């Protein structure tokens, strides 16, 4: 039946849509972005995609255990080439504001570890970041913007381009090339902004809604996170701005005194050449100056004057999905260079970096090290473990007890016969559209619930024949947050999670 519904949906948007993915909860623009995100648009061909370094199974960061255990930097499409940093998560990055000086050389926003995807040109740091790897010789290694567009034009999802952008995918003139290449980044950013990527579905999110309980250790860890551990000074655990739930970052930059990762393969890039020049001419002597180096080379005189005060600083990442992994034994790497291999090691470093007996290696960049918020926190071993336990509650995909919301299945559970889909935006503002398929005549009840279990809308309440139906869902008068749409037809049920953002 689900295959039959998919065929109906495809026919509704035209025969050219025959290759569409089953992503009906995404808008067409988000679906295009998803296709671009997972397509191996690279040289050599079919070697590397965005998802190669940003996989959903690990919270949209590095998915290869052997790499995470060592250098933590991922090889490019040309396999002998490596960049210089661990891939950051691409989830929740669209909340980062356009890069700016908040005063006195205190910078906020942008994307990449050094903030160089400022967002000033496209109005979206995520979109500008998404464009970088396609042309980077140590990443996807495409020779030109036009080459990227040609590969998209030859893909089985090229039909999406005109419905999304209103014009065909063209690259005959430089103006067309520049405009459409930017649209690649904007589409990927749309996917990265979708509820598929930014799920807000962790145990902690459900705890905030009263739908899950923290263990005693997790609750103690939250108390320490906000207090003695000083974690929330940068990884903000309260809602700030328009986001529906805390983002666990303030989008600033900091030098934590992180030591070098001696296994970083970038140190060996003095022996690998691109266009006759070594990728890393300094070899082992290379130092990652982060934000300071970007400012120094920005061409902005005001920023250049503040470069020295920002040497060694890197972007404060979100802690959402910080422990998300495909299995309990799967290793992840932490910090901008992946030098640490467990959350326990990270917390212990924050706690004891400046304790002489801890014997940590020296910082890679000794200037501008933050000594006010970490280094000698006086946490006990048990307190460190409690903070780690709390951070493990921040992984998306948690399923609360089903009896919390009467009569529902777990979020996004697959339907066997009955099906329910979101046709337009999710998250959305005031309204969106739903589609559902009835395998047989039934009494139909389509309701919306808050996460506390309160019914806030009845959309359909009638008997209907077998077939496909579309209805509008208006959420005026309701506050921002996550809601559950529940479809009941006879003895079958389907649910969807929707996110209302005002």
Q: Is residue 141 part of a domain?
A: no
Tokens of 229: 């551990």
Q: Is residue 414 part of a domain?
A: yes
- Please tell me the distance from the alpha carbon of residue 391 to that of residue 115, in angstroms, as a whole number: 25
Q: Is residue 19 part of a domain?
A: no
CB-CB contact of 105 with 296 (8 Å): no
Tokens of 286: 């290379």
Q: Is residue 203 part of a domain?
A: no
Q: What is the pLDDT of residue 496?
A: 84
- CA atoms 280, 281, 283, 289: torsion sign: negative
Q: Is residue 347 part of a domain?
A: no
Q: Provide the 3-class DSSP secondary structure of residue 441.
A: coil
Q: Is residue 276 part of a domain?
A: no
pLDDT digits (tens, 9 = 90+) for 322-342: 999 999 899 999 999 999 999
Q: Is residue 480 part of a domain?
A: yes
Beta bridge partners of 53: none
Q: What is the pLDDT of residue 21?
A: 31
Q: Provide the 3-class DSSP secondary structure of residue 125.
A: helix
Nearest to 51 by CA among 42, 60, 41: 60
Task: Show the DSSP H helices in 278-380 as ranges.
Answer: 291-296, 301-305, 343-352
CATH code of the domain covering residue 494? 2.60.40.2550
Of 6-20, 41-55, 455-469, which gets the smallest average pLDDT?
6-20
Q: Is residue 491 part of a domain?
A: yes
pLDDT digits (tens, 9 = 90+) for 52-88: 999 999 999 999 999 999 999 999 999 999 999 999 9
The boundaries of the domain holding residue 457 are 402-500
Tokens of 453: 């279990």
Q: What is the pLDDT of residue 181?
A: 98
Look-up of token digits 């619930």? 449
| Average pLDDT for 192-217 | 94
Tokens of 79: 């396999």
Tokens of 166: 């209103």
The tally of domains found in the chain comes to 1
CB-CB contact of 502 with 481 (8 Å): no
Beta bridge partners of 447: 458, 486
């Amino acid at each position: 039946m689900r295959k039959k519904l998919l065929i109906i949906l495809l026919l509704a948007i035209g025969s050219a849509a025959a290759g569409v993915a089953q992503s009906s909860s995404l808008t067409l623009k988000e679906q295009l972005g998803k296709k671009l995100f997972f397509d191996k648009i690279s040289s050599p061909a079919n070697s590397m995609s965005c998802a190669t370094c940003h996989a959903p199974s690990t919270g949209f960061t590095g998915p290869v255990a052997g790499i995470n255990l060592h250098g933590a930097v991922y090889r490019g499409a040309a396999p002998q080439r490596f960049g210089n940093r661990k891939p950051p998560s691409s989830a929740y990055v669209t909340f980062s504001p356009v890069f700016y000086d908040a005063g006195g050389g205190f910078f906020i926003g942008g994307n990449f570890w050094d903030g160089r995807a400022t967002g000033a040109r496209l109005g979206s740091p995520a979109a500008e970041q998404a464009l970088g790897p396609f042309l980077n010789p140590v990443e996807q290694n495409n020779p030109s913007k036009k080459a990227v567009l040609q590969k998209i034009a030859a893909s089985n999802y090229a039909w999406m381009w005109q419905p999304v952008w209103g014009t065909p995918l063209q690259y005959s003139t430089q103006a067309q090339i520049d405009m459409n290449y930017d649209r690649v980044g904007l589409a990927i950013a749309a996917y990265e902004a979708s509820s598929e990527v930014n799920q807000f579905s962790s145990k902690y999110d459900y705890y905030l809604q009263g739908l899950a309980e923290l263990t005693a250790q997790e609750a103690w860890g939250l108390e320490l996170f906000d207090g003695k551990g000083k974690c929330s000074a940068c990884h903000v655990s309260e809602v700030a701005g328009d986001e529906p739930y805390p983002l666990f970052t303030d989008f600033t930059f900091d030098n934590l005194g992180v030591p070098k990762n001696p296994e970083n393969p970038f140190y060996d890039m003095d022996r690998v050449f691109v266009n006759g020049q070594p990728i890393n001419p300094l070899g082992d002597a290379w130092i990652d100056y982060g934000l300071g180096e970007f400012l120094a080379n920005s061409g902005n005189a005001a920023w250049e004057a503040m470069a020295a005060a920002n040497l060694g600083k890197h972007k404060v990442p979100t802690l959402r999905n910080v422990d998300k992994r495909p299995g309990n034994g799967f290793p992840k790497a932490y910090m901008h260079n992946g030098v640490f291999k467990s959350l326990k090691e990270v917390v212990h470093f924050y706690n004891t970096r400046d304790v002489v007996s801890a014997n940590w290696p020296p910082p890679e960049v000794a200037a501008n090290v933050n000594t006010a918020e970490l280094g000698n926190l006086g946490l006990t071993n048990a307190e460190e473990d409690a903070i780690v336990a709390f951070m493990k509650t921040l992984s998306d995909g948690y399923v609360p007890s089903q009896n919390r919301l009467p009569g529902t299945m777990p979020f996004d559970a697959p339907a066997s016969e009955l099906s329910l889909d979101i046709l337009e935006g999710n998250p959305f503002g005031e309204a969106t559209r739903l589609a559902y398929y009835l395998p047989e005549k039934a009494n139909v009840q389509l309701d919306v619930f808050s996460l506390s279990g309160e019914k806030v809308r009845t959309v359909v309440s009638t008997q209907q024949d077998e077939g496909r139906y579309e209805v509008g869902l208006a959420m005026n008068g309701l506050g921002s947050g996550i809601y559950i749409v529940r479809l009941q037809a006879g003895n079958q049920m389907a649910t969807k999670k929707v996110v209302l953002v005002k």
